[in-house]
Structure 1
Amino acid sequence: MTEHKSNFPEFYITAPQPCPYLPGRYERKLFTHLTPDKPDLLIDNLLKGGFRRSQNIAYMPYCDSCSACVPVRIVVDAFDLRRSHKRVLKTNRDLMVRRKEPSADSEQYSLFRGYIDSRHADGGMAEMTVLDYSLMMEDSVVETFVSEYRLKPDPEGDGSTPLVAVCLCDQLSDGISMVYSFYDPELTSRSLGTYMILEHIQYAQSLGLPYVYLGYWIEGARKMRYKNRFHPQEHLTAKGWVRFDGKSDAPEADGCGACADRKLAPAFTDF
Structure 2
Amino acid sequence: MAKKKTKDPQTMSFLDHLEELRWHLIRATTAVLIMGIIAFIAKGFIFDVLIFGPRNADFPTYRGLCWLSQLSGMDNSLCFEQSPFSIQSRKVAGQFSVHIWTSITAGFIAAFPFVLYEFWKFIAPALYENERKYSKGFIFISSLLFFLGVLFGYYVITPLSLNFLGSYQVSELVLNEFDVDDYIRLVRVSVIACGLIFELPIIMYFLAKVGLVTPEFLRKYRKFALVIVLILSAIITPPDIVSQIIVAIPILILYEVSILISKIVVRNNNKKQKKVSVT
Give me the TM-score of the superposition, normalised by structure 2.
0.25
* Greater radius of gyration (CA): 2
Alignment TM-score, normalising by the size of structure 1? 0.26
Compare the two structures and name the one with the higher helix fraction: 2
Structure with the bigger percentage of strand: 1
